[in-house]
Amino acid sequence: MQLSPQEAQPFKDNSKYTHYQLPISAHRQRAQNIALAKQLLAAAGASSLKFNLTTWNFLDHTDHAASIQAYAREAGIEMGVEVMDVGKYYDAEPAGADYASTTPWLNRTCTLTEYGARGVPNIYLTRCYQSTGDWNASHYKNPEFDSLANTYLGAADVSTQRKATKRMTGLLLRDTPVITDYFINYVTASSSKVKNYVPEGLSHVRLAKVGLA
């Protein structure tokens, strides 16, 4: 699987927030090399790696999981696919148990999870990638990343944010705790009689300034 630099990290291009963008040349993506992947697995004592990917039956998740399974097979990895209902995937296991330490989406060996759109990447940095994040399904812990995220979040100028962004994306590409392999375009519809309606990728509907012509 090959990802472009801006697809492999949380700072996706966004015309509304251009100061988060990095040039394509900022971090070169690794070329696919199946032979090297097999060598690295063997060196790590994992030449017979076997595990399950867990997800839930939503949109294209099952097809997506099957494609990942096929990529893994090329490197000699035996990956099964476990598909749950949404209630089981996002609930404690068993029901009533401690949520953070038992819910499948945060605790299975490998998970496939969708995320809703946000206008800025802050929530992903703090909840998904920082060591203390409660959505940190990969259990990623990198003190340098934590420090850079705090620098980014507390920066008062774009230049400081860009410097932190470049270093954070480099760390995420090197460590690869999470693969964000594609983004989708959110499509909705409204009547020409409706004014001031602005669709959002998280499916929120804000009616404060909406009215009929």
E-assigned strand segments in 17-161:
50-56, 78-84, 110-111
The answer to the question of residue 8 being in a domain is no
193 in Cβ contact with 210 (< 8 Å): no
Return d(Cα 200, Cα 190) in angstroms, integer.
13
Whether 91 maps to a domain, the answer reads yes
Count of domains observed in the chain: 1
- Whether 98 maps to a domain, the answer reads yes
Question: Angle 51-53-59 (CA atoms, 0-180°, nearest 5)?
Answer: 165
- pLDDT, residue 22, reads 53
Task: Specify if 4 maps to a domain.
Answer: no
Q: Are 56 and 84 in contact (CB under 8 A)?
A: yes
For 171, the 3-state DSSP assignment is: helix
Residue 5 in domain: no
* 153-181: b (≥16 Cβ within 10 Å) or e: eeeeeeeebbebbebbbbbbbeeebbebb
Check residue 53 and give its pLDDT. 97
Question: What is d(CA 4, CA 110) in angstroms, rounded to the nearest whole number?
Answer: 22
Per-residue confidence (pLDDT) for residue 8, from 0 to 100: 47
pLDDT, residue 200, reads: 78
Note whether residue 1 is domain-resident: no
**Cβ(109)–Cβ(52) below 8 Å:** yes
3-state secondary structure of 183: coil
Domain-embedded: residue 82: yes
- CATH, residue 160: 3.10.105.10
- The answer to whether residues 112 and 65 touch, using CB atoms and an 8 Å cutoff, is yes
Domain of 179 in residue numbering reads as: 15-212
Task: Say what the pLDDT of residue 2 is.
Answer: 34
Structure pTM? 0.79
Please indicate, yes or no, if residue 196 is contained in any of the structural domains: yes
pLDDT at position 9, please? 53
What are the residue ranges in the chain where pLDDT is below 50?
Answer: 1-8, 14-20, 24
At residue 51, the pLDDT reads 97
CA dihedral 109, 111, 117, 123 (to 10 degrees): -10
